[in-house]
Structure 1
Amino acid sequence: MSEGHVKVIVVGGGAAGLAAAVAAEEAGLSCQLLEAQDRLGGRVQTVPLESGGHFDAGAQMVNGDMAAVLALAERAGRHLSPIPQSGIGLCVAGQELLRSEDLIEVDEIYTLLEEQVVRWDSPGEVLRALRLKLKWWNTPWESLGEAGRGLQVLLEPRAAPKDSLAAALRALLLEADEQAMAFSLFTELFGAPPEDVDAHAVRDIFSRYASERSDLEFQISGGMIAVIDRLASELRHTPRLRTPVDRIRVTGDRVEVASDAGIWTADNVIVAVPPPAARRISFDLEGGDALDGLLSSFTAGDMIKTVLVFDSAFWRLKGLSGTATFADPPGLVVVDGSLDDGLPPRLIAFQGGPLARELAALPQEARRTGLLQHLSRAFGAAALAPLEVAEAIWIDHPWCGGGYNATVRVGRQRDAVARLAAWDGPIRFAGAELDDRFWGYVEGALHSGRNAVARITGKAVVEAA
């Protein structure tokens, strides 16, 4: 059954797709948005809690430089709740509690990764790496220790692919506790073990963060869904829900988009779903093999996000910030997610990578018990008695892939982000993974969706990332 012809079809009703659809209508283009799920938002999902308030099961945090998100929140009448930051952050290594401030800062790890060589398998490369590290050494003893670790890296058999993030982290010559913390942080961030993530792609990601500010500054009162709801309210044409797209075919000067619900045709199509989800679509177009190779370069992250509501912020009484990175199990990071709305305080636990996939196979009660035991190691026995626990599992999601984002893996096409973002013709791609300003964030998704329309209208030029 044919559903008619429009100027633009947008596939995907997440932040990127909604931003693209609104921009298309603002440009005077007829537009139809198709969404596979029974709701809009994609990886933005806000659910109510029994104890009051809400839980951002997906995207949550913003900073003051994310102008598009902040503008939508303001138009929705929502205020920004500062994320609690005061107090001591912890790194949990076995039964030992280390102060985060006594270890290397995350920003320093990012900087070192941007400067460090990845291939480090010859004396010449060792010397080059050591020279890059000189500015971080403070004492002769520190220099001697790092030189010794450098020789150890050179002499030991390589334990990870040479172009992997794991190899790059190991080449930083960090202390054992610092390296364990770094591995855990990146496992959580990418939802994958550093051995599987391409280090060059990670450097590209760092360059796609257009801010000097932390991404953990604010939450939106009422949840991130307020941004999605505001965008949806600005659409003139009603999105079609429960309409998964099966095939996109270029035929002559038109593009045909097919689903079980019908067939649409358009002059242009914007595919605004994560690359792993886009792989579910059959593309019939010139260059289809190259496109398949690009989409296949991405693998979705594995993530379980859990909110734990307590009757008091007991961690603050100990002078703790509520932030904790666990070296064991790697991939577990906790932050204080309390809002300034007068509701009970809360901690947010992020469990990413192999840890998440392992836990997803367990009964819910077993996941909860294990997490509480880990939290008690960091914050004491009070962590064992939450008022409420709610979780969201982002693993093998049929329409999103996983969480938080999809990243380029070792051995794949490391320029896949730039090439997919620059894909030209009647089919274009948009999404948080493809943005050149805020990779992986809702802000990036909004920017990417709007840029896709700008490229169609010719009112703006988007440089290849």
Structure 2
Amino acid sequence: MEDIVNSRVVDVAVVGAGLAGLSAAREARRRGLSVTVLEARDRVGGKTLAALLPDGSVIEVGGQYIGPGQTMMYRLAEEFGLETYRAHPHTGDALAESGGQVFRIPAEAVGVTSFSEEEQRDLEQVVAKFENLVALVDPGKPWDAINADELDRTTLDEWVNANTTTSAAHGFLCMAIATNYSCDAWDISLLHSLIMLASEGGSVMEMIKYDDGPQQDRILGGSQLVAERMAAELGDDVVLNAPVRRIEQDAEGVVVYCDDVTVSAGHVVVAVPPALASRIRYTPDLSVGRELFTQRVANGHMTKLAVVYPRPFWRDDGLSGLYMSETSGFTAFDNTPTGTDLGVVGVFLPGRDAADYGYLSTEQRRATILGHLTTALGAAAAEPIDFIELDWAAQTWSRGGHNIVAGPGTWTKFGRHIRQPEGRIHWAGSESSTEWLGYMEGALRSGIRALAEITSDHPSTNL
């Protein structure tokens, strides 16, 4: 891959070397089209990113999980000779904090009978209602759903409040759904939350499962390897350090302008989140609907942490490493990769938690996290050997987590523009996928779909 060129003429230009952009470029190559990928960063992979642990092992600080049904990720891993392994092979009891007290939840009860009988009945009935609504939504055309306007004017938090009688059921469903959007339940419309679940099968409990669920497996060496292998295959057709500033189009084609690169092409695939795509200057202007859509869909706020210990000491006590705090919304889990003697506790901080955490100093952030872990796991948790954190909203070429946040009215007013081409400009990205929305799999599929639009046929790859 090269950093600086002057000008190129190709069939297809691609903006962004994340999984969506690289998938689009790879499909262009497969179809016999010439392609150039322009990436603003000095690396490929987008929101997949590897970090090194003290012993040289790899930990993911971005997207990491794959599971049954995510066929493209598994196929690419096999094609590139990458191994997958079970993400959570170590069973054990979970811990939950409520009212200042920490309770131990037997492994066989986690996610099944963790609540009282009243809470469990409340959870079961609200999940059933939610899934009945999911069945009404086509993730490719959610604005056509029965009662779409009503579903879109109500926030997820408002709907769950109106359909639960216990705080436990309310908190569980809001956390399970909204965390996947890197936001809080009051940030998104009910319709937005239904779209995500519809794109991955429609079951709340299946969505949160480890074994036989979307969090089942990881890629040995980190998921960024998939993007790196795709980029290596594309070679000099991937140009790094090339943020796109302007795109001009006419009846003959497009011209894509970077600081040191100009690419003329028949079509361009913009494979960056809508909020970043809106920073590009377009000539002529994009449609009003597209402009208003991008103004309404920022990326969610997500901070991901890895707290590293000499060994996974919690397993000695029969603990799985899973800890959930009802008071603070704090959630931790065993994120130790295979092949290391170290122990890694992973922490996701979405939405308001990420924002509050960001106001703290480095020392305060560390003390906050270690305070939670010490309360849950004991004194040994106060002595990590490494502390890795990444606020995705602070990353210049990400500016947010792994999914978009669509508040009330967004989908029914402007949602049609999420995939609709603007002349010779096509859109890709996990948020635009109709399958596995928000996942690495969704990003790959969106790239295939964008190329199918350009060649005016249907995806030939058997997904």
Q: Give the TM-score, by structure 1 length.
A: 0.83
CA contact (8 A) 2:192 2:411 kept: no
Tell me the CA shift for residue 414 of structure 1: 4.2
* Alignment correspondent of 2:114: 102
* Alignment correspondent of 2:37: 33
Tell me the CA shift for residue 394 of structure 1: 1.0
Q: Give the TM-score, by structure 2 length.
A: 0.83
- One-letter code aligned to 2:317: K
Q: How many residues align?
A: 418
CA contact (8 A) 1:302 1:394 kept: yes
- One-letter code aligned to 2:221: G
- One-letter code aligned to 2:114: D
**Corresponding residue to 1:115 among 132, 154, 158:** 132
Q: Distance in 2 between matches of 1:416 and 1:311?
A: 50
Are 1:24 and 2:36 counterparts?
A: no
CA contact (8 A) 2:65 2:216 kept: yes
Q: Distance in 1 between matches of 2:31 and 2:239?
A: 21
Q: Distance in 2 between matches of 1:428 and 1:19?
A: 14
CA contact (8 A) 1:8 1:32 kept: yes
Deviations 1:257-298 (A, max 9, x none): 122223322111100001111111122346522211122221
Deviations 1:422-457 (A, max 9, x none): 436311101111111110011110111011112212
CA contact (8 A) 2:287 2:422 kept: no
Tell me the CA shift for residue 184 of structure 1: 3.9
* Alignment correspondent of 1:222: 221
Are 1:177 and 2:168 counterparts?
A: yes
Tell me the CA shift for residue 65 of structure 1: 2.3
Q: Distance in 2 between matches of 1:324 and 1:171?
A: 28
- For the residue of structure 2 that corresponds to 1:299, the secondary structure is coil
- One-letter code aligned to 1:224: S
- For the residue of structure 1 that corresponds to 2:85, the secondary structure is strand
Q: Distance in 2 between matches of 1:46 and 1:111?
A: 38
User: Percent of counterpart pairs with the same letter?
Assistant: 28
Correspondence list, 1:269-288, <5 A: 269-285=268-284, 287-288=286-287
* Alignment correspondent of 2:146: none
Q: Which moved more, 1:433-442 or 1:232-241?
A: 232-241
Rate the CA distance shift 1:282–1:79 in 2: closer, same or farther, 3 A: same
Q: Distance in 1 between matches of 2:124 and 2:282?
A: 40
* Alignment correspondent of 2:93: 88
* Alignment correspondent of 2:18: 14
Q: Which moved more, 1:448-457 or 1:250-259?
A: 250-259
Correspondence list, 1:125-140, <5 A: none
Q: Distance in 2 between matches of 1:223 and 1:87?
A: 25
Rate the CA distance shift 1:346–1:77 in 2: closer, same or farther, 3 A: same
Correspondence list, 1:369-380, <5 A: 369-380=367-378
Deviations 1:283-341 (A, max 9, x none): 234652221112222121111111112233333333322222222222x3222112231
Q: Which moved more, 1:34-43 or 1:188-197?
A: 188-197
Q: Distance in 1 between matches of 2:125 and 2:332?
A: 20
* Alignment correspondent of 1:385: 383
Deviations 1:119-167 (A, max 9, x none): xxxxxxxxxxxxxxxxxxxxxxxxxxxxxxxxxxxxxxxxxx9611111
Q: Give the RMSD, CA atoms, in angstroms.
A: 2.6
**Corresponding residue to 1:434 among 408, 432, 435:** 432
* Alignment correspondent of 1:67: 71
**Corresponding residue to 1:163 among 141, 146, 154:** 154
Tell me the CA shift for residue 193 of structure 1: 2.0
Are 1:448 and 2:450 counterparts?
A: no
> Which consecutive residues of structure 1, in runs of 5 or more, have no partner in the other structure?
118-160
Q: Distance in 2 between matches of 1:240 and 1:206?
A: 35
Are 1:76 and 2:77 counterparts?
A: no
Q: Which moved more, 1:243-252 or 1:176-185?
A: 176-185
**Corresponding residue to 2:181 among 184, 190, 213:** 190
Deviations 1:208-254 (A, max 9, x none): 11485421111111001111111112215431111111121222221
Rate the CA distance shift 1:229–1:322 in 2: closer, same or farther, 3 A: same
Rate the CA distance shift 1:372–1:417 in 2: closer, same or farther, 3 A: farther
Tell me the CA shift for residue 93 of structure 1: 2.2
Rate the CA distance shift 1:422–1:210 in 2: closer, same or farther, 3 A: farther
Q: Distance in 2 between matches of 1:443 and 1:450?
A: 11
Q: Distance in 2 between matches of 1:228 and 1:62?
A: 15
Deviations 1:70-124 (A, max 9, x none): 122223322112122522333322423353432359898654323369xxxxxxx
* Alignment correspondent of 1:401: 399
